[in-house]
Chain A
């Protein structure tokens, strides 16, 4: 056999593609898939938030409660709960009667605040209870949170983690638990609502407060005191803290007063005192 040297001119072992083109294709594909999943989860989360049944909501609520407040300083044996519970129950609208039962918690925390998480868990801080002067203020704040609850804002606020949380709830029925990495780390910062959501919760609150007391006198007292407080450092810190989860602006109070006038609701009325005071347990 005779050997004839021949130069190799074609590269069979190398795919003729520019490395940057290849890289661009890869980055593009992975990013497009990522964005599609992100958007898809967002859409799914909104749909789930709007359609979730009470049993499922209670389950998701418990999961959120356990992940957020397992370590928190909750006063579960506080006697003030005996007063707060029936008051909150009486502030429910008809729609809320179909939803999971309200569960009230007192958070041992000097900064005044109130919040609601899915499943009807409502939190008030001891700082808030100490600052309140009338039952009307308390009723307004509680029903503002109930407004968020009725509008499912807390569920929507969970965002994309809601999909995995509800998946976890479904799997939980069959005894399978998703790892906590997947269900996501939740934080109180997730309980932030849009201006529109706050407004709707406010409207719910004045409607319910008016229904209960027949007037809106003293209902906004807490907010008025907060915004009128001297702006020393401590007060500023408190206002900032409140604002981080609730918008507190003069215009919000004005909006509500304008709405009340439009509906011809009395802005003045007799204050209902808080029996026994809430400052001390």
Chain B
């Protein structure tokens, strides 16, 4: 019985806090995306000619987002039936957009007119078995001015 109560508490904390943070984060992401919209991000092919620039520098934005208990339980149930893990879709989406924003904001601070050759890297941290893990998402690109 005690274990069930602990489980429900963890699930409730995971759901209410996790969901609240997620909503706050999305509001923040959307606001920042809007304010940085005027600088283009591009992902060129390897052998394409680059735009002319005086200066070029690499910028890296990286973020680590933690999973919450509610998402872990939802995902492990999803593992039984298969299909889209919708709870992780938002987690990764948030991570990617946040990493990209951090990269873009630091490039804009430097004075970039555009960021080219944008790439993503993702790696997971910890999370053995049932323990909730975290994901690191890194975005990097070449800022030019």
Asked if A and B bind, the verdict is yes
B-binding residues in A (CB < 8 A): 3, 5-8, 11, 13-15, 17, 19-20, 22-23, 26-27, 29-30
Closest-by-CB residue of B relative to A3 is: B40
| 61-105 of chain B: CB within 8 A of chain A | 70-71, 73-74, 77-78, 80-81, 84, 86-87, 89-90, 92-93
**Contact partner of A5 among B37, B78, B90, B92, CB < 8 A?**
B37
**Contact partner of B70 among A8, A19, A30, CB < 8 A?**
A19
Complex Cα–Cα for A15 and B38 (A): 28
The answer to whether B86 touches A15, judged by C-beta atoms less than 8 angstroms apart, is: yes
Nearest CB on B from A119, distance (A): 37
Contacts of B19 in A (CB 8 A): 19
A-B contact pairs, 13 of them (CB 8 A): A3-B40, A3-B114, A13-B92, A14-B90, A15-B84, A19-B70, A26-B74, A26-B78, A26-B80, A26-B81, A29-B81, A30-B77, A30-B80
> What number of A-B contacts does a CB cutoff of 8 Å give?
47
Nearest CB on B from A238, distance (A): 33
The answer to whether B74 touches A19, judged by C-beta atoms less than 8 angstroms apart, is: yes
Nearest CB on B from A154, distance (A): 32
The interface size bin for chain B is: 20 to 34
A3-B40, A19-B15, A20-B15 as given contacts; A27 in contact with B84, CB under 8 Å: no
Nearest CB on B from A24, distance (A): 10
**Contact partner of A23 among B38, B74, B81, B92, CB < 8 A?**
B74
The answer to whether A26 touches B15, judged by C-beta atoms less than 8 angstroms apart, is: no
A15-B86, A17-B86, A30-B80 as given contacts; A23 in contact with B70, CB under 8 Å: yes
The answer to whether B84 touches A13, judged by C-beta atoms less than 8 angstroms apart, is: no
Contacts of A20 in B (CB 8 A): 15
Contacts of A11 in B (CB 8 A): 93
The answer to whether B74 touches A5, judged by C-beta atoms less than 8 angstroms apart, is: no
Given contacts A13-B92, A14-B93, 20 further A-B contacts (CB under 8 A): A3-B114, A7-B34, A7-B37, A8-B33, A11-B93, A13-B89, A14-B89, A14-B90, A15-B86, A17-B86, A19-B74, A22-B74, A22-B87, A23-B70, A23-B74, A23-B77, A26-B74, A26-B81, A29-B81, A30-B80
